[in-house]
Structure 1
């Protein structure tokens, strides 16, 4: 049931330093509560030849570029060759993958960004997982709390799934493109290689290799 929203269908676990956090989990939201403790455990065994510790529970790869104006609160790991730009705000419980970009005024909280993820311009990403090479256009955000503050229900393709969790943002599969100014509502899941039109309000699940134009028009990509 709901196989298309399983971790195995969304992410290439070879493209994250956090692969082990997914052990024993079937769906991506099951990982969210484990991120902070996982970072502390992993950070303490990272090789000192490649990573330096900056403050409490913050590990930054020596090859990463972190602007002086960026704020990083632990637990946090910044991966090799990542770039954390001017006035980025990392609130904690964040894994920034190798070669990833966290941009100007982007805010992260309780997230895993796989390798090569780009959140480069005025993005909010909270309680979310972004797969390999996922990209969020300028001003696009993950909304992670319902307006009525009720527990989040995942609207899966084969039926609803009760999570028992109050805060869930979005899960973007590998190579997902989110258009500028879009809002991913709580519990949104976007399958691999799908595109979201700019200025969209997305909820529920978008199938892999699809183009989301609006809630009534989700089309399969042309493979030609």
Structure 2
């Protein structure tokens, strides 16, 4: 049994149905490009070789490919078989299994791919397809079987007869090949189809004619093989990934009061016993400690960190800011570029005015401070430990309020020195 594994990720397509100038594989899913999910899956397999084939918009996509992954550019977009040929040129001397993945299929689980590869190797197959049974198979290629139910080919929908279009078993596009068998047939593929392209799927019928054994592994959850070709399918994929992310947090001890209205990006860290209320949006890179309360209707943007036992509530936006333990901002407001100490109370309507029209500036608030309702802090500002601001106070830029001092008014004036 040949144990070597090479993985080829096809990421060359235009994605014309997305109607976007952004390459399809860079469209974000829960805070990261869809391509990243597929690369994570590929890397988890620990292949000897990992190759990404780029094409349309390759200059934009290339910076998103991590170091250590081979990149080849398909100069003319004339089909998946041609794309795989480009990758094969980098695999001279390699023998073993060649797995073909697609960068627009981000829902595929590592466990599913390992099952496919394991079945392929254990049965010494020429090719193993990942298939699914769909009640509505429109848009997918159909698996063709002979009189003995053996896989004998794949027909793309636009080339299928009316009879073939009734077949429910679809090709996901994900195929594990014996690379030596693939080399025997891939150069014999011809663009004999309505699109005039070189289809990798035509390799299946050529292998069958050479009497090699081909089989399928059926995926349990058809959503895993959802290919994203339109904004509608993008939205469906977002919902699936969002559900996975939410379930992962709940399994780790986080309470989501209503998971269906809680929007958490990939890469967010949340401590146990934190409660997230409905209609909360939490972006990638946010860190939330243990025992916190967030929302409802809160938005935590990149660069936000809540330490243990913080409370942030209704209609608040926080970005590039840190709240240390037991601090509260329970009502509507905006906190940007702020460093907020321990046990600080941020009153309703507080705004840190961090942007002066040219640059962003920092606001620093010391431990045990009390910021009155509707306070505006025009950064850069420093509020000392134990200090207080009166309701409706406007603290102008470059002001330093001393420890335990009280300021009030517009502009803020010292009422009591600490």
Band the TM-score falls in, shorter-chain normalisation = 0.5 to 0.7
Residue of structure 1 aligned with 2:417, choices 217, 220, 224: 220
1:79 aligned to 2:292? no
Match of 1:11 in 2: none
1:197 aligned to 2:390? yes
1:95 aligned to 2:95? no
1:113 aligned to 2:323? yes
Query: Over aligned residues, Cα RMSD in angstroms?
Result: 1.9
Q: Deviations over 1:99-139 (max 9, x none)?
A: 10111011010011100111110010001110001111010
Structure 1 residue 91: deviation in Å?
1.5
Gaps of 5+ in 1: 1-47, 151-165
Match of 1:31 in 2: none
Match of 2:365 in 1: 172
Equivalence map 1:37-56=2 (5 Å):
55-56=265-266
Q: Is the 8 A contact 2:363 2:379 kept in 1?
A: yes
Q: Is the 8 A contact 1:125 1:169 kept in 2?
A: no
Match of 2:380 in 1: 187
Secondary structure in 2 matching 1:121: coil
Distance 1:74 1:113 in 2: 17
Q: Is the 8 A contact 1:169 1:184 kept in 2?
A: no
Q: Is the 8 A contact 2:294 2:311 kept in 1?
A: yes
Match of 2:332 in 1: 122
Q: Deviations over 1:141-177 (max 9, x none)?
A: 101011xx24xxxxxxxxxxxxxxx212411000110
Equivalence map 1:122-161=2 (5 Å):
122-146=332-356, 149-150=357-358
Distance 1:181 1:91 in 2: 22
Secondary structure in 2 matching 1:104: coil
Q: Is the 8 A contact 1:84 1:101 kept in 2?
A: yes
Secondary structure in 1 matching 2:313: strand
Distance 2:367 2:380 in 1: 17
Q: Is the 8 A contact 1:174 1:192 kept in 2?
A: yes
Structure 1 residue 62: deviation in Å?
2.0
Distance 2:354 2:366 in 1: 17
Structure 1 residue 69: deviation in Å?
1.4
Structure 1 residue 186: deviation in Å?
1.3
Q: Is the 8 A contact 2:320 2:336 kept in 1?
A: yes
Distance 1:143 1:108 in 2: 12
Distance 2:343 2:273 in 1: 19
Summarize the Cα distance change of 1:51–1:77 in structure 2 as closer, same or farther, 3 Å threshold.
farther
Q: Is the 8 A contact 1:61 1:80 kept in 2?
A: yes
1:209 aligned to 2:404? yes
TM-score normalised to structure 1 length = 0.65
Secondary structure in 1 matching 2:321: strand
Query: What number of residue pairs does the alignment pair up?
Result: 156
Match of 1:29 in 2: none
Distance 1:72 1:168 in 2: 23
Structure 1 residue 50: deviation in Å?
7.1
Match of 1:22 in 2: none
Distance 2:324 2:414 in 1: 29
Q: Is the 8 A contact 1:145 1:169 kept in 2?
A: no
Distance 2:415 2:364 in 1: 18
**Which structure carries more strand by proportion?**
1
Match of 1:5 in 2: none
TM-score normalised to structure 2 length = 0.36
